[in-house]
Amino acid sequence: MNHVALSSSRKLRGGFRTFSTSEDFSAKKCVPCNAKDLRPMTEETANELISRVPEWNLVNESGVLKLNRSWKVKSFLKGLELFRLVAEVAESEGHHPDLHLVGWNNVTIEIWTHAVGGLTENDFILAAKINGLPLQDLLRRKAKS
């Protein structure tokens, strides 16, 4: 497939950064969430960015936009191991997800910027870095169709 690298960078409306649409979020660093001009991005911008964090969904929880992804893990303890790997990335980025482990083997992670009550580029950076984690051995194999 011919990937047209869109080089035009876009000033985030109400955002605090520009970024090129071809840039890989996992190569970026989160900024402190107490930056004074930090504001939530629009739903339009979030819809433009969501395809750059594969497997993550954009959800609107009573007006708060969040990123959301779920996994089925092999065991309760492997769920906690997944949390541990995610926690290390979160601590190094200074940006933290909401972690859910329910029904012993269902993991859901939600990412949003609490300081602004919505999404910022930090959330996409964290989601991209979580996508880069070696989670395969923790996950239940998909049932053969």
Ligand X SMILES: C[C@H](O)[C@H](O)[C@H]1CNC2=NC(N)=NC(=O)C2=N1
Which residues contact ligand X by CB under 6 A? 32-34, 94-96, 113-115
Output the CA angle 109-53-5, nearest 5 degrees.
170
Q: How far apart are CA 145 and CA 102, in angstroms?
A: 25
C-beta of 114 vs 140, nearer to ligand X = 114
C-beta of 40 vs 78, nearer to ligand X = 40
3-state helix, strand, coil in the chain (%, to 5): 30, 25, 45
CB of 32 to ligand X, least distance (A): 4
CB of 64 to ligand X, least distance (A): 12
CB of 96 to ligand X, least distance (A): 4
CB of 60 to ligand X, least distance (A): 17
CA dihedral 80, 118, 124, 5 (to 10 degrees): 160
C-beta of 68 vs 78, nearer to ligand X = 68
C-beta of 94 vs 132, nearer to ligand X = 94
